[in-house]
Amino acid sequence: MDNDILAGLNESQRAAVTTTEGYIRVIAGAGTGKTRALTHRYAYLVREYGIAPSNILCITFTNKAANEMKRRIKGMLGEEFDTSFVATLHAFCTRILREEITKLFYPDNFIVLDNLDQKRILEEVYDEMGIKMDTASFKFMIDQIRYYKNLITYVEYLSDPDFDYSALTSEKPSDEIIFRYIKKQRKYFGLDFFDLINFVIYLFRRYPDVLEKWQQRLCYIMVDEFQDITAKEFKLIRRLSEYNRNLFVVGDPDQNIYEWRGANMSVIVDFEGWLNNPCFEHQYGLRAKDIFLEENYRSSEPVLAAANALISHNRNRVEKTLYTKKPGGARVVCLHAKNDKEEIGYICREIRNHVAAGGKYADFAVLYRSGYVSRFVESGFLAENIPYTVYGGVGFYERAEIKDVLSYMRLVDRPDDDLSFKRICNVPRRKLGKAKLAALTLYAEEHKLSLYESLRALCETEQFRASGAKQFVSVMDALRAQRETLSVSELLQAILAQTGYELYIRESGDIERLDNTTELLRSIVTQEAEFGEHLSLSAFLQQMTLLRDSDAEDTCDRVKIMTIHTSKGLEFDRVFLVGMTEGIFPSARSLEERRHEALEEERRLCFVAMTRARHRLYLTESEGFGVKGFSKVPSRFIEDFVRDTDPAFLDCVGTVPHDLREEQALQAKHFDREDGEIFHVGDQLRHKGFGEGIVERVDEKTRTYFIRFVNGVRPISFDYPGIAHIF
């Protein structure tokens, strides 16, 4: 036995490394050294059993993870070892297809299409069909193509050189775009990421000898992040393991945060059941061995106590408890603030105090559920000159939709702002492209006018008549006439509605962009309240310019701010989990779409965020105006772990008022309401505004409840969110 490979491993890790044969499921909690177990197992198979690396497949889910595993393996075995089969599933499928795809009448030098390639093909299709394309419609169509390609049958005609593509017909324009896209794929011999797995599955089904060759080659198969696997991916991996029956999977059901994009939780939770799924033709009655990695090497005892208490509320999981042999550590802080300003003020003071004591800004990470929550964090950091970087994303004020609406506001304030005009004159599309903009620029230079004034002069000429120029000028002039009478927040709402920008975002299907404009509106309402007198449009825009221009000097020592999804796989000394408000986290939209499944996934997401912290964890929330017209109340997730965690591990700062406690219960009941539930005559309800009442009549035709309250009967819409049963 090679003591170098097994040295430093705990008992569970050692079991994972040395248990080499059969079907093995390793449930590896956050920070328990799963990558260490995987890489040492790989080295153990090579060094102790003499298995060639070309006979070991190790699947990871990101290129970054694959490269890190290769680095560690070569550190143990030597640089000369070939680790090319340590790869993402897409990279491995590409490897198979390079060897086998000629059987499907594709050349072995086929092109793997990236995002830009896909866009270029779609641009060709749109040009042929006379359709104008923008970023939003591109994203929408890629999603539609992905849904279509979930049906593997399309591979049949892509791999048939004699297929008649004219046979693909549909009355839906989106289907016609998809068919043309696929036809062009074939013409260029290109496969996008959706195709790689589908082509391999089809290849194995059509050519059993090819499947058998790869089954025999891969003596040992290991899969990392198994909780994120899709049913289709498992089907492929399970098939590859049928000959040698050595499949080793590592994952944590409590860290599955990608169900919304296809990850199937039941594959890891019911691993043995999936191994014996009737969809597989052979080898029923397979047994699997379980190994648990629960000793955490990352987080302090208070952090683990809170995280364990939170996740214990989920039902769909494999039970385990994270622990550390290093007791002690700072208490987990739960902050309830009176408003956003107080919340970010507390965060800034904690960071300042740490830095003053000799620490670094880079010791901190600020995590949030949705991108728009970063607005108040960025604003606070800019105002306090705290250096930060948006990790894996774009800063709030740098997002395209925020720049767009601020450009509209600037043009309302100053019609001579040519930069703002150029940005938004054709957003949404108004047939004011490069040629017309060039003509406007020439006219403006000749007549010493702004571009907007030039458009007003030319909008009814023959060159501009077929465009949306006249309507654009009319809307902008009307908005300018209202700027003295409307508040800034009212003006923003008018801009979104009258220019068509809000409809443009809604039609794009990108809900996050809509959330960002809503957050900007909310921040303006807050500023107006704090300003104490009429906040003029010019003063607001000047404030925005100063805010964005006050960015701290460039330095590597910065606070990292990011979404929780971006933080997966990372760890930080000190973590602020902000915006812990019901409806924001858990997300109201997710709960409405997927109910209980979404609630458990949201809780797993919170668990992931909490376990990013090594030494100190803060969870913060504040009062104010929340989602769907509700008041902001603390997230139920705070209640989940506060109730079940040893008080010695917690430090609760601020007091939640009694009325917010009642509101919190009301909101939780609303968001938990089952799809299609309607109230009935005699049901006792609590209304957000009217208090307690009883249902006297239900009119399903008009979708109205008639509810008797203390002050009389009121008609309440089925769709109103602020009512719930009294239990």
* Enzyme catalytic residues: 34-35, 224-225, 255, 612
DSSP structure class, residue 699: E
Task: Give the whole-angstrom CA distance, residue 705 versus residue 679.
Answer: 8
Element (H, E) at 247: strand 247-251
Cβ-contact 394, 600 below 8 angstroms = no
Q: Which among 229, 219, 187, 199 is positioned nearest to 88, based on CA atoms?
A: 229
Phi-psi region of 392 (alpha: psi -120 to 50; beta: other; left: phi over 0): left
| DSSP symbols for 609-676 | HHTTEEEEEEEEEE-SB-GGGPBP-B-HHHHHHHHHS-GGGEEEES---HHHHHHHHHHHHHHHPPTT
Q: Which among 675, 673, 712, 680 is positioned nearest to 698, based on CA atoms?
A: 680
Q: Which among 714, 707, 712 is positioned nearest to 680, based on CA atoms?
A: 707
For the record, the structure tokens of 288 come out as 């699997």
Which position has the token pair 């892509």? Answer: 158
Cβ-contact 308, 322 below 8 angstroms = yes
Task: Give the whole-angstrom CA distance, residue 217 versus residue 625.
Answer: 60
**Phi, psi angle pair for 561, to nearest 5°:** -125, 140
Q: How far is CA 462 from the centre of its chain?
A: 47
Q: Which among 49, 48, 36 is positioned nearest to 75, based on CA atoms?
A: 36
Helix axes 173-188, 135-149, angle to 10 degrees: 80
Task: Give the whole-angstrom CA distance, residue 6 versus residue 4.
Answer: 6
Cβ-contact 483, 537 below 8 angstroms = yes
Task: Give the whole-angstrom CA distance, residue 449 versus residue 471.
Answer: 20
Task: Give the whole-angstrom CA distance, residue 612 versus residue 592.
Answer: 28
Cβ-contact 397, 561 below 8 angstroms = no
Q: How far is CA 147 from the centre of its chain?
A: 18
For the record, the structure tokens of 194 come out as 């959706």
Q: How far is CA 89 from the centre of its chain?
A: 21
| DSSP symbols for 382-402 | HHTT--EEETTS--GGGSHHH
CA atoms within 13 A on the CB side of 152: 15
Element (H, E) at 367: strand 364-368
For the chain, helix (H) and strand (E) counts, in that order, are 31, 20
Q: How far is CA 423 from the centre of its chain?
A: 28
Sheet holding 704-709, edge to edge: 712-717, 704-709, 691-699, 684-687, 723-725
